[in-house]
Amino acid sequence: MTTTAARNRAILWLAGPAYLWLLATVLLPLAAMLYFSFLTVSPLSGTPEFTLAHYRTFFTQEVYLVNAGRSMMLGLHVTLLCLAFGYPAAWVLARVIKNRWREAMLLLVVLPFWSNGLVRTFSWTMVLTDYGLIGRALHAVWPGAPSIEIMNSYPAILVGLTHAYLPYVVLTCYVSLQGINPSLTEAARSLGASWGQVFLRVILPLSLPGIIAGAMLTFVPVMGSFMEPRILGGTQAIMLGTLIENQFTAAFNWPLGAALGFVMLGAVFLLMALFWPLIRRHVQGVAA
């Protein structure tokens, strides 16, 4: 009993600072924004009253509903692109590259985290224009080449966000693939299964937790992104995240911005709740 109590106290002392930091930096600001979302004006700029008008504004004005749908589609497109590029890259890291070369490639994967996101986004503006690095190199080799400028367009937003969140998918899928026992694939091959069957029936189900984790780490922040659409998108940059940013920084309508943010947060939780039974069934099937 004494040993258990001492162990619990040790866990409390070790985990307590982290939970206090989480409370101070995440939960308290969220609680403040939730409070603001039900006020007529910000407490800093007047005498507020309780209201649901800001939530009604979202559901009754088309501009917010349309841009919420666009933000969801942006999150879906970026997630699919990250999975399409990240899963094969993770497979190569886990199964093909060995020893120090693997360490070097993993270093390249995490290298974007060492630079500021704003710097990375602005660097794409020097690449995606017709007079950028790729455009100049192409015109030097092929003087009559057509313009490849995609700045201020939806594809430019996809490029910037895919580059920003691809490492998350690569790392989560790599961990899952690295944990698969090679003897399982060898046994399936020895029993006559083709490589396609091995992938669909052995590798893909066992790596599904990494795929799900990578998809969640990509979809949720992309849905609320505003920096990349703002810089790379031009007239195509109006997403729900940019509308929320405008309410806080330009219109100074904090209650409406807070309400829009919590509507988006609720939409994310709703999507996760809808897909959770499917995810749990697959994970339990793999564990069994």
Confidence class for position 90, pLDDT limits 50, 70, 90:
very high
pLDDT tens column, 28-85? 988 989 999 999 887 777 778 899 999 999 999 999 999 999 999 999 999 999 999 9
Higher pLDDT, 58 or 280: 58
Mean pLDDT of the region 276-283: 68
User: What span, in angstroms and rounded, lies between the C-alpha atoms of 244 and 250?
Assistant: 10
CATH class of 64-287: mainly alpha
Confidence (pLDDT) at 70: 92
Model confidence pLDDT, tens digit, residues 214-235: 999 999 999 989 889 989 987 7
pLDDT the model gives residue 285: 57
pLDDT tens readout for residues 93-121: 998 888 888 888 888 888 888 888 888 88
CB 181 within 8 A of CB 129: no
Closest alpha carbon to 117 in 78, 160, 77: 160
pLDDT given at position 268: 84
Q: pLDDT (tens digit, 9 = 90+) per residue, 204-217?
A: 888 888 898 899 99
What confidence score (pLDDT) does residue 214 get? 92
Band of the pLDDT at 125, cuts 50, 70, 90?
Answer: confident
pTM assigned to the model: 0.85
SS (H, E, C) 155-169: HHHHHHHHHHHHHHH
pLDDT value at residue 288: 53
96: Cβ contacts below 8 Å, ≥ 6 apart: none
- Nearest one of 120, 109, 116, 121 to 214, comparing CA atoms: 109
| Between 243 and 11, residue with greater pLDDT | 243
At residue 99, the pLDDT reads 80
Per-residue pLDDT tens over the stretch 133-191: 777 777 777 777 677 778 888 988 999 999 999 999 999 999 999 888 888 888 888 88
- Which distant-in-sequence residues (6+ apart) come within 8 Å of 49 by Cβ? 39, 40
Q: What residue spans define the domains of the chain?
A: 64-287
